[in-house]
A and B are shown apart, each in its own frame.
Chain A
Amino acid sequence: MGSIKRISKELSELTESPPDGITVELADESNLYEWKISMEGPERSPYHNGIFHVKLSLPTEYPFKPPTVSFVTKIYHPNITNDDKGSMCLGMLRADEWKPSSKIAAVLEFARQLLAEPMPDDAVEGRIAEQYKNDNGRYEEVAREWTRKYAGASQ
C-alpha cells in the first residue's frame, strides 16, 4: 500500500523533527492509522501551559481522504465541539478542500495555530464563537479555567 509507505514516512519525519509544541506517537504500535498527539497550548493564548491530547485518525484511503482530528482533552474553543468527541473543524480537512499534498505535519501545525487564533466565523460552537467576538475577556477566562481544569495547566 502506497499509503502505508507515505504514512510511515510522515510519522518518522514528525518524530524526528516535530513541529513546535507538538509531539507525535502511534496510539498502538501495530496501527499506523491512529495517532496520539500531544499539543502544547500556544503562548499568548488562554490555552497556554495546557497539554492537549489529540487523536488523529487516518482513513485507509489516506492521502486521498483527509485525516480527522479530535481533542481528547476537553477544551473551550469555538472550533472544537464541546462534546465527548471534541471534533475539530478545519477547513483543510473537509473532503472537498483536502489535498493529498497536505501533510499531517501541516494539519497539526494548523490545528495548533487555530488554538492561538480561533476562527469564530467558521465555528462549530456558536455560543463560544459569539462570546469570543463580543465578550473576549470572558471567553479567555473560561478557556483558561478549562485549560487549568482539564489540560493540567499549572498556574
Chain B
Amino acid sequence: MDSDRMFCHACGGVWLKDGGLTCPHCESEFTEIIEIPPEMPSEASPSPQPQAGSSSAPRGNPWRDHNPWEQEESYSAQGLGLFGNASSGYPSLRTYRSPDGRFSFSSTTFEAGTASGQRNDPSPIVPMALETFGAMLRDVDFMEPNPRVYRGYGEESLDPNSSTAPDWLQDDHLTGHHPGLSPRNTNGPQSNRNPMTITEIMDAIRADLGTQSMRGGRGGRGAAAPNPLSILSAILNMDRIGDAVYSQEALDRVIEQLIEHTGGASTAPPAASQTAIQSLPRKKVDKEMLGGESKAECTICLDNVELGTEVTVLPCTHWFHFSCIEAWLTQNNTCPHCRRGIDSNMGNGEGTRENPVVVQDSPEQSASRRRHSSARTSRSGRSSLSSLQSRLSPRLSPRRSPERERGQGGQPGPRELSRSEGNGGGFASWFSNRFGNST
C-alpha cells in the first residue's frame, strides 16, 4: 500500500512515506513507519461492527486491524475508512492524568451498536498498567526510550514542560480532545488479551525488551540486554530498602557469595577462631569423665587417655587431646562427636565465623569486636545478608541476641574481615556495583 505514513517522534510531524524516512520538518531520524493495515472484508459488511471484527482477528499480528487514524478528521479524505464509519459505533475517549501531572494516557473505546447490546469494551486497566510501567522505566532513565515498548502513545512527551512534546499531544491532555494522530493507540493489541496477572505483564515487558535488544543499535544499554527482572529490581530498589532479589541470576550470586562465606566449596561448618580454640577449658581427666572405666580414648586419634591426662573440654562436655581438637577446630567450629557448636553453652550460635566466641576475660577481643561492628553498621545489605545466611544455614548462626542484631553481623573472622575490607563489603558492594550506589 502506498499510503504508509511516517511519524516523527521528535517533532510529532506526519508525512507520507514517499517523502522519505527522515522527518521533513525537523530532519530527525527518530521516525517510525506507520503501516496502513490492508482493507478488511468486514469494511463492506452491511452491519459494521468494527470492534468485533478487531477482536476476532488472528492474534498473530495484533496490529492487523489497528487503525491509528481512526480519529483523524482528514482520514476520510483518504477513502480508507476501516473504522472510520463513526456512525456505527460510539467512540468514547477517556484521558487519564497522573496526580502530579507528569504523564497522562488516553484510551479510546468503541461501543459497537450491536443488536444484542454487547459491548466490546477493552478494559483500560491493562493498558494503563503497562503505560504506567513504561513511564516508570523512562522516569528512572534506565533505558532509552523505545517507541515500541509499551504500545501506549504519549510517553515520550508526558512531561508538559518538555520542549519536544508535540503540540497536539499537549492539547490532548489539556483539553481532553483527541485531535489527530495516535500511532500507539491503546486500543491496539491489549484489547485482544486479558493479561490479568503480574506474570503476564512481566512477560510482555520481557518480550518487548527482548525485541529491543535484538534490534540492537540502540546504544550500550540495549545491547547489554539487561534482565528485565533486574531492571525491575533496580527500580524497586532505588533506595535499596529490602533484601529481595528479583532474578535467578541475582539470587545465584547471593547464594554463591554465601557459599564463599561459609568456607568455599565445602559445605562443612566454618572454622573456629584461634582465640576461641585457645580459650577452651582444659582439665585433667577424672573418673567421672571416663564414665567409670579406667581409661577411654580420644575419638580423634583413637589413642588411649588415662586418668590425669590433660584434655580440652568442649561446652558439650566431649573432650579430646588439645592437639587433636585444635586440628579439627581450625576447620570446623563444632564438636567432632556431636556437632554442637563449640560455643553452644551460649545457645546463640556464637563461634561461627560471622559471630565468633566472645571470650569473657579478654577485653581486647570484645573491644575490637565492637569497633568492627560499628564500622559496618552503615553498610546496608549487610544485615540482610546475615539474616539470609542464617535462614539458609541455621546451623551456622541459629539465633542472634538482640545486641548482636544491632551489631549487624558481629565481628567477622580474620579471613572474612580481610575480604570484606578488600572489596568494600561483600554483598553491599556487589549490590551497589550492580545497581548503582544510590545511598
Residues in chain A within 8 A of chain B (CB atoms): 2, 5-6, 9-10, 63-64, 94-96, 98-101, 103
Contact = CB atoms under 8 A, between A and B. Distances in A.
Given A5-B301, A95-B268, A64 B337 contact: no
Interface in B263-290: 266-269
7 contacts: A5-B302, A64-B331, A64-B332, A95-B267, A96-B267, A100-B336, A101-B336
Contacts of A101: 299-300, 336-337
Contact of A2 (B267, B324, B331, B337): B324
B248 interface: no
B168 interface: no
Nearest to B303: A5
A89 to B, nearest CB: 15
B336 A2 contact: no
Q: Chain A's interface: helix, strand, loop or mixed, by majority?
A: loop
B136 interface: no
A59 B241 CA distance: 46
B269 A96 contact: yes
Given A96-B267, A101-B299, A103-B302, 12 more contacts: A2-B300, A2-B301, A5-B302, A6-B300, A64-B327, A64-B331, A95-B266, A95-B267, A96-B266, A99-B336, A100-B299, A100-B336
Interface of B: 266-269, 299-303, 323-324, 327-328, 331-332, 336-337, 339
B327 A6 contact: no
Contact of B300 (A10, A95, A98, A100): A100
A132 B266 CA distance: 31
A68 to B, nearest CB: 14
B328 A64 contact: yes
Q: Lowest 10 A-B CB distances belong to which pairs?
A: A101-B299, A96-B267, A100-B336, A96-B268, A95-B268, A101-B337, A95-B266, A100-B300, A2-B301, A6-B302
Contacts of A99: 336-337, 339
Determine which residue in A9, A96, A100, A103 has the highest number of CB atoms from chain B within 10 A of its CB, and name it: A100
Q: Which of B302, B337, B339 has the most CB of A within 10 A?
A: B302
Contacts of B269: 96
Contacts of A95: 266-268
A2 B302 CA distance: 10
A9 B302 contact: yes
Given A6-B301, A9-B302, A100 B328 contact: yes
Contacts of A98: 268
B407 to A, nearest CB: 27
A7 to B, nearest CB: 9
Nearest to A63: B300
Contacts of B300: 2, 6, 63, 100-101
B327 A2 contact: yes
Nearest to B323: A2
Contacts of B268: 95-96, 98
A96 B264 CA distance: 12
A60 to B, nearest CB: 12
A94 B301 CA distance: 20
B11 to A, nearest CB: 63
B433 to A, nearest CB: 31
Contacts of A5: 301-303
Nearest to B339: A99
Given A95-B267, A95-B268, A10 B327 contact: no
A106 to B, nearest CB: 11
A95 B266 CA distance: 7
Contacts of A10: 302
Contacts of B303: 5
B285 to A, nearest CB: 17
A75 to B, nearest CB: 27
A101 B303 CA distance: 12
A98 B268 CA distance: 9
Contacts of A9: 302
Nearest to B325: A100
A8 to B, nearest CB: 10
A100 B268 CA distance: 13
Contacts of A103: 302
A10 B266 CA distance: 26
